[in-house]
Amino acid sequence: MACLLAVFMSVIFRGTVCYIFSFAFLYLVGVAYINTHELADCSGLGRPRSITLTIQPDTVNEKTSENVVYGYARVLEAPKRYGKIVGHRMYFILKYDEVIPARGQKLQISAQVEYVGRRKSKPFLKFLRKNHVFLYGSNGKIEKYLSEKSWFDRICERYREKFFHALRCGVGDRGNIGIITAMLTGSKHMLSNTQKNDFCNTGTAHVFAISGFHIGVIALFFDWFFRLLRLSRRMRALPVIAILFVYLSVIGPTPASMRAYATLFFYYAAAIFGRQSSAFSSFANSAAVNVCCEPESVFNVSFLLSYGIVFGIICVGANLNRLLRSLKLRNRRLCGHTFAERIRNCIYWGVVENFCTAFAANMASIPLSVEFFGNFSYLTILLNIVFVPLASIIIFVGGVSLLFGAFNMFALCAIVNKLTVIPIFLINFTLNCSRKFGHGLINVPYSLDGIWIPALILTAVVGWCLTKINDKIKTVNERVIVRYNL
């Protein structure tokens, strides 16, 4: 009830302080939930033991070439001897025969299960432990499907195959197919190990995680399309929400993509009800709902990256962009400029805005990368300035290809996909250049647990200072404009 009350208050009142208070309050509720429901001590498992369990996957990823699925799941049933692990999350690696399980489908599995709560030797097990996932099931297989896929899941599977086929049309090189497929569907099984390492080491692997960046590009495309049809802001909102829901259902929703969708849902819901859309209120309400539904997610790196990066972009990126624009007031007066000057101006401010966004995103993400992965790249900001526009073009063109593929127009898909060859070539060329510098990767040998907390506080303080500076510059600029007009 306390959580619902906080969400209700954040919807009614629009003050920034109220949103921050509501989010902080819900975060404390999540922490209290974890503390009062202590995780079971599974140390009695000892060495990995072969156990038969009933699980319900939260995420499902597959390696079709190896007939393997992997992801996170909730344990529903276990033998009496290991009854304490029921209700907890586990990471699984399973072999399947012919049918790929769907997210949310109940499965009976047999796997080598081990407790990773005190294991620090293997980097991946340490990563799981930091995410409060204490069970690791490997060398397993699916014994039985305890629930059938719904009719909606079967339709989504059929269209998912169409999507993969549409993205392969006209793209000959396997590496290029892997990049465009990963960016549009989140499936990285066609990427080579070298490509995966390059993107991970440079901090640019986020272009393959279906998140706010992808959802935003696709939403902008359809919003622009419906605007050409002269639909009002309220009339555009509902079809955009519906199209994104279908897209996520077909490619397979992940926690990160659903968080981004929830944020966009609140943003467009304000338009449906005739209220002004606010990026910060949408962000706060989405985070509040997520914490209400799954309080333990506040310790997950995916949750912290999703909302931490958005928080940094809203607090620092937007205000820094406003500050740079305010310092160059004369560039706002475009009416007397020539066409070439306008083009140069648009390119200049596009680069500035891209830099502000990349700087703010990395200000929030680098501390998390240091804590959870033990490294970061000093080339990340520069590479993201290059990659984000190129990835936007690929996602935009790939979205058009998916639209054609949904209606079996694969000849048009082959033509459209040709437009992605140049941006993919530029991405590969940039990665090859950065490889000569070792991708700028710096390993941090020290354990810096909890460093993301002061990092987010610093982000909020910097954002507040930029807001105050912007207000002062705005006042000065208004005086200059009045004097100039006089």
Q: Verify that 127 and 230 share a domain, yes or no.
A: no
CA distance 385 to 379: 10
So what's the pLDDT on residue 9?
Answer: 46
Specify if 368 maps to a domain. Answer: yes
More confident: 260 or 451: 260
Q: Verify that 129 and 193 share a domain, yes or no.
A: no
The confidence band for 54, taking pLDDT boundaries of 50, 70 and 90, is very high
Range with lowest mean pLDDT among 114-123, 229-238, 251-260, 423-432? 114-123
Buried-exposed string 137-167: b where 16+ CB fall within 10 A, e elsewhere? beebebeeeeeebeeebeebeebbebbbebb
So what's the pLDDT on residue 334?
Answer: 42
User: Please, which residues have CB within 8 angstroms of residue 351's CB and are 6 or more apart in sequence?
Assistant: 385
Domains held by the chain: number: 2
So what's the pLDDT on residue 43?
Answer: 63
Q: Verify that 367 and 430 share a domain, yes or no.
A: yes
Specify if 396 maps to a domain. Answer: yes
pLDDT beyond 60 at 233: yes
Specify if 301 maps to a domain. Answer: yes
Instruction: Please count the other Cβ atoms lying within 10 Å of the Cβ belonging to residue 211.
Output: 24
Q: Verify that 217 and 97 share a domain, yes or no.
A: no
Q: Verify that 280 and 140 share a domain, yes or no.
A: no
Most confident by average pLDDT, 21-30, 68-77, 280-289, 327-336: 68-77
So what's the pLDDT on residue 32?
Answer: 60
So what's the pLDDT on residue 92?
Answer: 93
Mean pLDDT value across residues 6-18 = 50
Specify if 171 maps to a domain. Answer: no
Q: Verify that 318 and 427 share a domain, yes or no.
A: yes
Mean pLDDT value across residues 460-481 = 79
Q: Verify that 286 and 205 share a domain, yes or no.
A: yes
Specify if 113 maps to a domain. Answer: yes
Q: Which residue range is the domain that position 186 belongs to?
A: 181-475
Q: Verify that 187 and 143 share a domain, yes or no.
A: no
Query: Residue 467, class by beta-carbon neighbours within 10 Å (0-12 exposed, 13-18 middle, 19+ buried)?
Result: middle
Which CATH number do you get for residue 100? Answer: 2.40.50
CA distances from 367 to 209, 300, 373, 451 (A): 19, 14, 10, 6
Q: Give the residue from 298, 220, 208 showing the smallest Cα distance to 257.
A: 208
Q: Verify that 347 and 430 share a domain, yes or no.
A: yes
pLDDT beyond 80 at 349: no
DSSP secondary structure letter of residue 91: E
So what's the pLDDT on residue 17?
Answer: 54
Strand 375-377 vs strand 441-443: parallel, antiparallel, or unpaired? Answer: antiparallel
- Detail the DSSP E strand segments found in 276-407: 375-377
Show the tokens assigned to 241: 């929400």
Range with lowest mean pLDDT among 86-95, 261-270, 299-308, 325-334? 325-334
Q: Verify that 133 and 237 share a domain, yes or no.
A: no
Specify if 173 maps to a domain. Answer: no
Mean pLDDT value across residues 160-175 = 84
So what's the pLDDT on residue 486?
Answer: 47
Q: Verify that 53 and 99 share a domain, yes or no.
A: yes
User: CA geometry: angle at 306 spanning 303 and 310, to 5°?
Assistant: 135
Specify if 483 maps to a domain. Answer: no
pTM more than 0.85:
no
Specify if 84 maps to a domain. Answer: yes
Q: Verify that 185 and 145 share a domain, yes or no.
A: no
